[in-house]
Chains A and B, each alone.
Chain A
């Protein structure tokens, strides 16, 4: 897991610093329902970003607006400084959609060839089939392909224009474990080339395992944005456990970033948002030993951050 939000070694475009995606105060309403509410987000070139949220959080609506499939009620979308329509026309942006249909009566290779014909320039058909891992089924009818194979076909189609930004909307929904792993291996290999990737998912482990940065959305708003580690920290902090006879409970509780202190005999348990500072204090300023730092898993963070805010007790009860 990368621990920086903006990974080094994936250079931004020379000079201008144009973000890959820039959403400014994006709002989308469907009648009385607000799907996306005043959402602003900036994604730098080369980032691999997970858009994580429960169903109905506004992930797909946001992605539709980035792709130009939906028009914002208000706010703006820029992709590499361009409108979504221009970005699509130039092949700068490509997507693997959950719902995008395929023609059952074409073969896999024919589907890719037909799609390739619509672009101004593309990678060779054989190359994208190879990279999506579907060379062996190139002559198979699309209607006879499994869900996972169809998804890799969509991925091959998305690779054709060699896009600067690849968007994946719940790409592994309905795949078995093996299918998901193969799919993500292909994506991951591809991301090494420096492509910006934005994927929506409600699989926490996918976000945790494959993203440099997680943007957590709930009810059309961003509720957290950071690395996987930061998100976990934000929601639940970490638990620092140490052996410290005669601990100064009040003094420890006064440390910056400490939420609560519990003393059980010689053992002291501290909930802290900044566990590093607490550990440093314990090891340098006190006689503490056997210091353990444990993190809540992402699932806890996810539930805490996306749970209904009307029930704050759920969080403080931890």
Chain B
């Protein structure tokens, strides 16, 4: 056909190059940019990942202005960082959860008619999720800075990085849910789950105000680690190995579960 095409008078003349597979399994920045643009077009997503954390800060952060926590850290800064973690986790969950929507719509099936390899697809989703997470952290920090939060530069940087990178847990969580349930409205039932996890992670109120039993349970929930690490540059109290283990283990658990479902999904023919 290649030779036939080249000699025919039809519309498809002129193929001279041999057919080839795409590099990187079909992963491209073009697709990534389009994915990000797609998400930013979705008003509901924007409300959840950009506006809600900012509004929470105005509602709960600003009234505490001037107060300080035990270690002398500013309460508004503490709240701002917590809400940045919250924004990032909602953002990355919804990024990973896009898989659910695309499976429900049949887009995943359409993609199987292209050379795009499943790992390249997942990489695009994770990078989209992480980009959203970064935007969410930056917006929350900007709102905080405008609202009068003052911290040393290294605290801004380290807390921001921790909130952002730690949200990888939730990119994996979003993927896991995305491969578990093919539903267009996946974020509607994930929202309350994320809120409960955020509560256990100490993002809405300091864990110290919770009953002791709850505090113990909280240490094993997936937001605890990232919250503790993100706030540690501010409080100066450092973080425990347990917090790091929490982040690593939950990321691994969600990642492995997502990978397992993903293999089932791509092998189902």
Q: Which residues of A contact B (CB under 8 A)?
A: 10-14, 20, 45-46, 67-71, 80, 88-92, 94-95, 97, 99-106, 110, 113-121, 123, 131, 154, 157-158, 161-162, 164, 189-190, 192-196
Contacting pair A120 B110 (CB below 8 A): no
With A92-B1, A113-B30, A164-B2 already in contact, 10 other A-B pairs whose C-beta atoms are closer than 8 Å: A14-B3, A88-B114, A90-B21, A100-B106, A114-B34, A118-B111, A190-B10, A193-B9, A193-B12, A195-B12
- Which B-chain residue is minimally distant from A116 (CB atoms)? B30
What is the CB-to-nearest-CB distance from B116 to chain A, in angstroms, rounded to a whole number?
Answer: 4
- Provide the bound-state CA to CA distance between A117 and B15, in Å: 18
Contacting pair A12 B102 (CB below 8 A): no
Contacting pair B4 A103 (CB below 8 A): no
- Provide the bound-state CA to CA distance between A67 and B20, in Å: 18
Q: CB within 8 A of A119: which of B7, B10, B37, B114? A: B114
Q: How big is the B interface, by class?
A: 35 or more
Contacts of B185 in A (CB 8 A): none
Contacting pair B110 A97 (CB below 8 A): yes
What is the CB-to-nearest-CB distance from B1 to chain A, in angstroms, rounded to a whole number?
Answer: 4
Contacts of A164 in B (CB 8 A): 1-2, 5
- Provide the bound-state CA to CA distance between A12 and B11, in Å: 17
- Provide the bound-state CA to CA distance between A25 and B196, in Å: 56
- Provide the bound-state CA to CA distance between A68 and B111, in Å: 12
Q: Knowing A91-B115, A97-B109 touch, does A121 contact B17 (C-beta < 8 A)?
A: yes
- Provide the bound-state CA to CA distance between A13 and B5, in Å: 9
Shortest Cβ-Cβ A-B pairs, 3 listed: A193-B10, A101-B106, A164-B1
- Provide the bound-state CA to CA distance between A62 and B7, in Å: 32
Contacts of B109 in A (CB 8 A): 69, 97, 99-101
Interface residues of B in 90-136 (CB under 8 A from A): 102, 105-116
Contacting pair A80 B1 (CB below 8 A): yes
Contacting pair A91 B19 (CB below 8 A): yes
- Provide the bound-state CA to CA distance between A97 and B112, in Å: 12
- Which A-chain residue is minimally distant from B107 (CB atoms)? A101
Contacting pair B4 A11 (CB below 8 A): yes
- Provide the bound-state CA to CA distance between A45 and B30, in Å: 34
What is the CB-to-nearest-CB distance from B16 to chain A, in angstroms, rounded to a whole number?
Answer: 11
Q: CB within 8 A of A117: which of B1, B5, B20, B31? A: B31
Contacts of A88 in B (CB 8 A): 112-115
The reply on B154 being an interface residue by CB < 8 A is no
- Provide the bound-state CA to CA distance between A117 and B28, in Å: 6
Q: CB within 8 A of A97: which of B31, B38, B113? A: B113
Contacts of A10 in B (CB 8 A): 4
Contacts of B4 in A (CB 8 A): 10-14, 45-46, 194
- Provide the bound-state CA to CA distance between A41 and B4, in Å: 22
Contacts of B8 in A (CB 8 A): 11, 193-194
